[in-house]
Amino acid sequence: MVQKPKSINLLIPQYADSSLVLKSNHGIPFKSSVLKTPTPLDGSINKSHFEPGNYGSPSILQARLFTNARKGLKPQVSNHKNVKYDGTPTPGIPWVSPMSATPLKDISRTSLGVLPDNDLHHGQFDSDLPEMEQNGFAEQLQSRGPLYSHKVTANVIAMSGGHCGFPSDSAQVSGKRIHPERSDDGLRRMTYGDDAIDIGSSGREKGFTADDGIVNGGPRWRSDESSDEEDEHNLERAVKGASYRTPRRGIRRSSCKMRIVSSPFLLAEPLIKCGFLAGLHFCSMSSNSVSVLLSSFSLACVEYGFFYLVNHGVEEELLARVFEESRKFFSLPLAAKMNLLRKEHRGYTPLYAENLDPSSSSKGDSKESFYIGPLEKSCLNQWPSQVLLAREFQNFSLLGDPPWSLTIAKLCELGHFEEQIFGASAHSDYGMITLLVTDGVPGLQVCREKFKDPQTWENVFHMNGAFIVNIGDMMERWTNCLFRSTLHRVMPTGQERYSLAFFLDPNTECIVQCLGSCCSESRPQRFPPIRSGDYLKERLMLTYGS
Ligand SMILES: O=C(O)CCC(=O)C(=O)O
Ligand SMILES: [Fe+2]
């Protein structure tokens, strides 16, 4: 039976052009954008909670970009695009007819950017959204039950003589090699086309002290809702083991008070050099304010479609055991794994069986996967043995009866550099939302502007204990592209790489159609309604070629 979506309130942030300026003792003003009050769509705004510079909670880390225009650094120009759905296949997103994008009116989408006159603006593309949310999906999820799908993946691409790009002195971006330059202000820049991302040197390198308000080469804002110790503890937990330095960013907290946090980011120099750094948001589940939490989620979904989730409550030991089981599974003889060949999207998919970018001419992705779905009665899951894998995943039955699946993968050694082969080729996820954990081996990249040509890819680095969360295509359709389903891929690294992905999809019967709050006369519906199950089926057919 086809279920009609019901109404919910969805917090959608709106943006303002105001900005705060923080002055360091180097006399360099750093500017950060400031969010206007996130507005619940029923129109009620609690202004006492959200003021400029008063956004988030001590446990919510909102990473923002900073610029330093006075020093002559090239501003990151606002990526304002008029995206036309004219039937042209999107790179990495195969044309799925008749369920994918339809030729509708032009929609402009402005993303975060730093404008040349020292102002850092947020896009205002949603200011025309209607105030009332009529067509929600959360309630539907609760009543119908979404689909869960788990995937454990290991990418193995061993390069002999080839240049993998990790870590290296230069980065391979869109087929071009990018060389980092050090400018006379000591900042490292990597430029590609019209974009520039500044990667600041650490405070220590630049001779800053903690009193300078510089953390990681960039200033932060915070409030004093929690103790300094608690805050630093949370932050350090979140980034413990991080092997990179964040780009300049601010952390907006719940009062305007600025404080200094000693930087827990100790970054390996070679990794800084190896490419763009994705300035992803952090969201923390430990916030005691649901509205703040939702605002931070929706902001991350609007701006990037990718974010780190920390303090999520899933024990590291459990994840470690899952990775251990994955390794055991993939080291089984091929024949044993082939006995579990994928059926009903559960089971084993061998090397090159998946091609996440069917528009490419690649022979497939260099990964093995194993999918597990929900543990309903007529269990379609295939287990290698009563203990291997199965034991670790029994807990997922707590999620209820909607279908889900798990994938694990094993490395294959490639004797030579094969440019066309990715661990996972460029794609956006099909469903609603994905939670990803990796074993720490690098390789994941995101392309924030998927319609841009050429594409710019940024490295997403591993953070111990954090989930990487990303929006899927059906969520993008639901929100009429307000939430971004961001293109991503996994580059070959020359190392074994294991990952665990949890895909949350709408129930198969659910009709995914534009939420009332996400379309208006000036922002017309961009996709026709689709039945979730049909859409997933078609996307999977394209991925597997059958
Ligand atoms: O392994 C990863 O880091 C990402 C995998 C991925 O994007 C996917 O399976 O959809
Ligand atoms: Fe993905």
Structure confidence at residue 150 (pLDDT) = 63
pLDDT over threshold 60, residue 216: no
Say if residue 238's pLDDT is above 60.
Answer: no
348 lies in some domain: yes
* Best mutation site among 153, 491, 536, 540 for ligand 1 pocket (most ligand atoms within 8 Å of CB): 153
Other C-beta atoms closer than 10 Å to the C-beta of 315 total 10
**pLDDT at site 465:** 87
Q: What is the pLDDT of residue 18?
A: 21
User: What SS3 class is residue 507?
Assistant: coil
Token pair recorded at residue 443: 């390789």
Domain that holds residue 529: 276-544
What pLDDT was estimated at residue 487? 95
ipTM of this predicted structure: 0.99
Q: Is 444 in the pocket of ligand 1 (CB under 6 A)?
A: yes
Q: Report which protein residue has its CA nearest ligand 1's atom 5.
A: 424
**Which tokens is 351 given?**
């090397």
Residue with more model confidence, 412 or 270:
412
Please, are residues 57 and 50 in contact by the beta-carbon 8 Å criterion? no
Burial 150-186 (b: 16+ CB within 10 A, else e): bbbbbbbbbbeebebbbbeebbbbeeeebebeeeebe
**Quick one: average pLDDT of 417-425?**
75
Q: Which residue has the higher pLDDT, 248 or 535?
A: 535
From 166, 371, 436, 491, mutation site for ligand 1 pocket: most ligand atoms within 8 A of C-beta: 436
pLDDT reading at 171 higher than 60:
no
From the CB of 154, is ligand 1 less than 6 Å away? no
**For residue 376, is it within any domain?**
yes
pLDDT per residue over 127-147, tens digit each?
Answer: 333 332 333 333 333 334 455
Residue nearest to atom 10 of ligand 1 (CA): 429
Higher pLDDT, 274 or 399: 399
Please check whether residue 191 lies inside any domain of the structure.
Answer: no
89-98, 200-209, 361-370, 537-546: the lowest-pLDDT one: 200-209
**Is the pLDDT assigned to residue 528 strictly greater than 60?**
yes
CA of 127 to the centre of ligand 2 (A): 30
Q: How far is the CA of 545 from the centre of ligand 1 (A)?
A: 19
- Measured in Å, residue 471 CA sits from the centre of ligand 2 at 9
Is the distance from the beta carbon of residue 424 to the nearest atom of ligand 1 less than 6 Å?
Answer: yes
The SS3 of residue 497 is strand
Number of domains composing the chain: 1
Q: Which two tokens stand for residue 283?
A: 């969201």
pLDDT at 116 (0 to 100): 28
What pLDDT, on a 0 to 100 scale, did the predictor assign at position 28? 25
* Model confidence pTM above 0.95: no
Strands 458-459 and 530-531: unpaired
Rg of the chain taking only CA atoms, in angstroms: 23
Distance in angstroms (rounded) separating the CA atoms of residues 334 and 344: 20
Residue 155 forms part of a structural domain: no
Q: Is residue 519 part of a domain?
A: yes
Residue 221 lies in a domain: no
295 pocket-lining for ligand 1 (C-beta < 6 Å)? no
Query: Mean pLDDT, the chain, as a whole number?
Result: 57
Q: Is residue 147 part of a domain?
A: no
The tens digit of pLDDT for each residue in 30-62 reads 222 222 222 222 222 222 222 222 222 222 222
CATH number of the domain that residue 398 is part of: 2.60.120.330
Q: Would 317 be classed as within a structural domain?
A: yes
For the segment 426-450, what is each residue's pLDDT rounded down to a tens digit? 999 999 999 999 999 888 999 988 8
pLDDT (mean) for 349-373: 88
